[in-house]
Amino acid sequence: MSEAALPVVLRVPQADRASTIRYFARRNPRMILGGALVLTWLALAVFAPFIAPYDPIKVNPTDALLPPSAGHLLGTDDLGRDMLSRILWGSRISLSVGLISVGIGFFVGVTLGLAAGYLGGTFDLVVMRGIDALLAFPALVLAIAITSALGPQIQNAMIAIGIVAIPAYARLTRGQVLAVRSREFIVAARTIGATPLRVVMRHIFPNVTNALIVQATLSTAFAILAEAALSFLGLGPQPPLPSWGQDINYSIRYLPNLKWWMSVGPGLAIFSAVFAFNFLGDALRDALDPRLRRSG
Amino acid sequence: MIRYILRRLVLMIPVALLVTVGVFILVRLSPGDPALVFAGEERDPNALAAIREQMGLDQPIPVQYVVWLGHLAQGDLGRSFQTHQRVLEAVTERLPATLELGLAALLFSTSVALIVGILSAVKRNSIVDLLSTSITLAGVSFPSFFLGIVLILLFAYIIPGRIFPPGGYVPLTQDAGDNLRRLVLPAVTLATASLAVNLRQVRSSLLDVFGHDYMRTARAKGLRERTVIARHALKNALIPVVTLIGIQIGAIIEGAFITEQIFFWPGIGRLAVQAIPSSDYPVVQGVVLISAFSYMFSTLIVDIVYAWLDPRISYEAATA
């Protein structure tokens, strides 16, 4: 009697990334909170033209240096400009510099890391020495040096912060490529004739995405802080454009007169935006990348 | 060990050269003609040509780089376009102020991080622990310039009695008391970011160590809790903290850029920040180079100390 071959279907539960995130979100309220804070800031930036009660640039001498009141919730500056409106409009600059510079660092860093890790040899050696040279500078000093050389403009601040962000992505990606390069599934892909580009994009890159998402969130926090520091030093957007760092620098001259609202509004804006991305990044790290999880 | 140090030094050479190339290129990227900036009001073409020749700007870029590197090797960082003072001299004049501020900040952040970090790890989930995790969370996101302003507002203007002055500097040799009074606010401002990082590290590496078998053994031997923590836990937990502190020493100049600007502290950071708007490139270039080299050097020292403190780290693996 011949045994009928029973069709055995083993259903291996496939945990895709979306469901992993949902699973952890239930157990990780910090991620929900961080995400909500980030989304709030993004929404404020996108809708600033509709929410902001006043023109952020128009000078209005009759309203100069008013303390917070119902008419001006966060007060006005010495030119009578509404601080709340300047903060809301300023968020567009801060967040766009943050996101675009992280985009630059991400794109260049990941490409270099993938290429260096996969190709190896002289290319790897040259690229990694270049990355070492970038890491030899303290991050903020490098950003200041690049922006002061290129000229104080928003675009140049984005480029400078983007360049500063490159090493982290390049090293992270290269390390991951080296870890999986000789694994069976890569060898198998090569054996069946996959092109190097396909091997890198389809088989290697997915292994590093989780760590990259975490890195991107945390480096957005750094980028917003760095943009604020550059603007504080006069290397970001130029007056009369509303910018958090620059507004804080401008407010220093009014400290002896106790016009505290000129500093406190923009300061809390920077803090809460940076905190939102740091908080979300930490929560995502715990959820997506257990190897990087901190103890305690 | 000596072989390891030598290897690290040799590996540093190409990186250091790349750093000099990077700094050189940055200045050449700058818009504007350095000769025009140097000349000030002078617009006579012949005089400008003479200045260009004197500054070597008529040479091809690679030649200019080699000449500049040669000067650099002899400690010559050029002259300030504005004051015509030697850059090295300007930096050395301001170094004591920056070092004083940096070391005071480091002392503050390290001692607070150790005390609060140990307490919060030992008494987990207590009020101290809650305080410590809040400082950690807020400290890394709080912009130092905003903290500086809040401190000035509170201690120089709002709280009566003007406990601390809003800024300025008096040399230690001139009036030690006044010097220290003016040091407090900038040092606390500068220390906050590193305090958050150090505190997190002290707490998490102590908690890591607490789980090890040798801790249980030490307690089982009947040692007092204080001895267990001081002798067995701290010694092992502090290795990563030493690394962090080493790197922070190298990054003192980085923090000085912002803090010195807020508090009118006449150090290296303020020198560079004031040179930026007037396109005084030799000064910016000099300060950036010095800060990069001190950062690289401290990273090297940290690696060596790390390998020495923790014999499990193989020199071969560390250099690979």
Find residues 199-238 of chain A whose CB sits inside 8 Å of chain B: 221, 225, 228-229, 232-235
Task: Give the minimum alpha-carbon distance from A134 to chain B in angstroms, rounded to a whole number.
Answer: 8
Contact B145 A248 (CB under 8 A): yes
Q: Residue B257 is nearest to which of A144, A256, A263, comparing CB atoms? A: A144
Tell the residue number behind the tokens 């050479």, with chain if given: B13
Task: Look up residue A246 and give its amino acid.
Answer: Q
- Rounded Cα–Cα distance for residues B120 and B65 (Å): 53
**Cβ neighbours of residue B105 closer than 8 Å, sequence gap 6 or more:** B186, B187, B188, B189, B190, B191, B194, B252, B255
pLDDT given at position B52: 81
Question: Using CB atoms within 10 A of its CB, is residue A113 exposed (0-12), middle (13-18) or buried (19+)?
Answer: buried
> Which residues of B fall within a CB distance of 8 Å from A258?
153, 157-158
Under 8 Å between Cβ of A66 and A75? yes
Q: How far is A145 from chain B (nearest CA, A)?
A: 7
Give the pLDDT confidence score for residue A282 in this predicted structure.
87
- The pLDDT score that the predictor gives to residue A6 is 62
Q: Which residue has the higher pLDDT, B215 or B309?
A: B215
* Residue B74 to chain A, least CA–CA distance (Å): 21
Q: Is residue B52 in some structural domain?
A: no
Overall number of domains in chain B = 1
User: CA B12 → CA A93, A213, B75, B173, distances in Å?
Assistant: 38, 32, 19, 38
Confidence of residue A10 (pLDDT cuts 50, 70, 90): low
pLDDT in tens, A17-35: 777 767 766 777 888 889 9
Whether B159 is in a domain gets the answer: yes
Average pLDDT over residues B79-88: 90
Position B16 in a domain: no
Whether A255 and B26 lie within 8 Å, measured CB to CB: no
Each residue of A108-153: pLDDT tens digit? 999 999 999 999 999 999 999 999 999 999 999 999 999 988 988 9
Question: Which candidate in B145, B200, B297 is best for mutational testing of the A interface (most A CBs within 10 A)?
Answer: B145
B82 domain-assigned: no
Percent share of chain A, pLDDT over 90: 70
Residues of A in contact with B295 (CB under 8 A): 136-138
Here the tokens at position B262 are 């807020």
What's the CATH number where B184 sits? 1.10.3720.10
Quote the pLDDT of residue B152: 94
Assign B318 a pLDDT band (cuts: 50, 70, 90).
very low
User: Residue B143 and residue A270: Cβ atoms within 8 Å?
Assistant: yes
| Most confident stretch, A241-245, B24-28, B273-277 | A241-245
Inter-chain CB proximity B149 and A225 less than 8 Å: no
Q: Are A229 and A138 in contact (CB under 8 A)?
A: no
pLDDT at B319: 43
Sort out which chain B residues have CB atoms less than 8 A from A270's CB and list them: 143, 146
Largest CA distance in chain B: 87
Taking contacts as CB-CB distances below 8 angstroms, the residues of chain A near B262 are: 252
Residue B239 lies in a domain: yes
Residue B320 confidence (pLDDT) above 70: no
Say whether A296 and B292 touch across the interface (CB within 8 A): no
Pair A115, A265: CB distance under 8 Å: no
Of the candidates A221, A233, A295, which has its C-beta nearest B273's C-beta?
Answer: A233
Given an 8 Å threshold on Cβ–Cβ distance, is A233 in contact with B257?
yes
The token duo for A180 is: 């999986």
**Average confidence (pLDDT) over A186-209:** 90
Domain that holds residue B204: 89-319
B106 within some domain? yes
B140: distance to nearest CA of chain A, Å?
8
Residues A145-173 have pLDDT tens digits of 999 889 889 999 999 999 999 999 999 99
Q: CA A236, CA A231: separation in Å to the nearest integer?
A: 4
How deeply is B136 buried, as exposed, middle or buried, from its count of CB atoms within 10 A (0-12, 13-18, 19+)?
A: buried
Cβ contacts of A291 within 8 Å, gap of 6 or more: none
Q: How far is A50 from chain B (nearest CA, A)?
A: 28
For B232-279, the DSSP string reads IIHHHHHHHHHHHHHHHHHTHHHHHHHHHHHTT--SHHHHHHHHTTTT
pLDDT more than 70, % of chain A: 91
**Chain B closest-CA separation from residue A8 CA (Å):** 45
pLDDT of B185: 96
* Structure confidence at residue B299 as a pLDDT band (50, 70, 90): confident
Q: Is residue B44 part of a domain?
A: no
Q: Cβ of B157 and A137 within 8 Å?
A: no
d(CA A190, CA A170): 23
pLDDT of residue A263: 94
CA neighbor of A152 nearest in space, from B31, B3, B28: B31
Q: Which residue of A has its CA nearest to B25?
A: A149
CB–CB contact A249 B292 (8 Å): no
Nearest CB to B292; choose among A137, A248, A258: A137
Q: Which residues of A touch B292 (CB under 8 A)?
A: 136-138, 141
Q: Which domains does chain A have, with CATH numbers?
A: 27-39+56-295 (1.10.3720.10)
Average pLDDT over every residue of B24-40: 78
pLDDT, tens digit, for every residue of A202-233?
988 888 888 899 999 999 999 999 999 999 99
Q: What is the mean pLDDT of residues B116-126?
A: 90
Give every CB contact of residue A136 below 8 A, 6+ residues apart in sequence.
B15, B16, B19, B292, B295, B296, B299
What is the pLDDT of chain B when averaged over all its residues? 88
Nearest CA in chain A to B165: A256
The residue in chain B having the minimum alpha-carbon distance to the alpha carbon of residue A257 is: B157
* DSSP string for B24-75: HHHHHHSSS-HHHHHHTT---HHHHHHHHHHHTTTS-HHHHHHHHHHHHHTT
Least confident piece of the model among A276-285, B101-110, B225-234, B309-318: B309-318
* R_g over Cα of chain B: 24
pLDDT at A15 over 70: no
Q: Do B276 and A148 touch (CB under 8 A)?
A: yes
pLDDT at A296: 36
In a domain, B289, yes or no: yes
Query: Taking Cα atoms as reference points, which of A264, A240, A269 lies closest to residue A98?
Result: A269
Looking at the predicted structure, is the pLDDT value of residue B161 above 70? yes
